[in-house]
Structure 1
Amino acid sequence: MTDLTIYYDIFETPFGWMGLLASDKGLRNTTLPQNSPDICYEELGPEMVGAVQDSNRFDELRQRIIGYFEGHPETFEDVPVDLEDASEFYLAAWRACQSIPHGETRTYGWLADQAGNPRAARAAGQSMARNRLAIIVPCHRVVASDGSLRGFGKSTT
């Protein structure tokens, strides 16, 4: 594995503190808003060891996220991501999830179909539960076939 420089920023949103973690290739992890910067730091995980704090790198994305939390509809499909360790199916499911319009929901079955395997609704659900890019990949827009929320992976404190 090549050595990657990892960058992070932790910033305040209208709903609490949020963390972003990226390489030069793109975004690798986010947190949902938390009660403190320390919680964000912990939630960003082991890649934080040796990571470089760089607010400037995240300026535009930070402003877009804050705008999103202030009620301005936003899509993040154009945000570069670095998720090379994920399976092709997960990557396809995450890309499909990003296409769900603000204010709408889709089912795990729809997501599986869009990711190329219509019979893999459970795997689509697992991809949402393992989503490391909360808000950027809006897994909260994917629901069970009965409309209920199931297996949401990120938590808030």
Structure 2
Amino acid sequence: MRYFGQYESPLGLITIQCDELGITGIWFETHTTRPEDLGTQEQDFPLLQQAKGQLEQYFARQRHEFTVPLSLYGTVFQRQVWRALMSIPFGETRSYQDLAEQIGNPKAVRAVGSANGRNPISVLIPCHRVVGKNGQLSGYAGGVERKQALLELEGVLPLSK
């Protein structure tokens, strides 16, 4: 059984989804998510409330790590990449090449990029901390402007005017 709720973040509406064990998805309103895949709307489900609270703290610059449990659904390779993403500290970035090397597969840069793009749990699994080798902000399912805003919030980039 899956449940979902919504949270109005400083960067727009976020949909949070969970099962009985953990968070399964966090999507900005620009993501394409089929409503029939979300489950039952239940704003007060404890895991959804915990995730919302931690996101509120994050956006208020009071939280640098998330402790809400996650339920990862993906291929073995995708889950490996997502776990590597979770090891990138708040306020730091890595390149796709760095991640490929971290998982012991330095030639898998494109596959790492693909797995990064399929990350269903935005912000908590910080795919926004991955940048091009030259530091360029590239692709983000929530939009590059949100990626920039998240990196600004974390102090990686100077605040834009």
Q: Normalised by the size of structure 1, how large is the TM-score?
A: 0.79
Instruction: Note the alpha carbon deviations across 1:97-117, whole angstroms, 9 max, x for none.
Output: 111111110010111122231
Return the letter of the residue paired with 1:10. Answer: Q
Partner of 2:150: none
Instruction: Give the whole-Å Cα distance in 2 for the aligned partners of 1:135 and 1:122.
Output: 21
Partner of 1:81: 70
Q: How does 1:92-107 map to 2 (within 5 A)?
A: 92-107=80-95
After the TM superposition, which parts of structure 1 deviate over 3 Å for at least 4 consecutive aligned residues?
A: 42-46
Q: Percent identity?
A: 31
Q: Normalised by the size of structure 2, how large is the TM-score?
A: 0.77
Aligned residues: 144
**CA apart distance, 1:145:** 0.9
**2:7 pairs with 1:11:** yes
Partner of 1:65: 55
- Cα distance, 1:110–1:46 mapped onto 2, change above 3 Å: farther
- Cα distance, 1:44–1:14 mapped onto 2, change above 3 Å: farther
Partner of 2:107: 119
Preserved contact between residue 23 and residue 69 of structure 2 (Cα < 8 Å): yes
Instruction: Note the alpha carbon deviations across 1:17-40, whole angstroms, 9 max, x for none.
Output: 2210111122111112x4xxxx78
Instruction: Give the whole-Å Cα distance in 1 for the aligned partners of 2:119 and 2:85.
Output: 10
Instruction: Note the alpha carbon deviations across 1:52-77, whole angstroms, 9 max, x for none.
Output: 4142422222111011111224222x
- Cα distance, 1:45–1:145 mapped onto 2, change above 3 Å: farther
Where does structure 2 lack aligned partners over 5 or more consecutive residues? 147-161
**CA apart distance, 1:44:** 6.2
**2:19 pairs with 1:29:** no
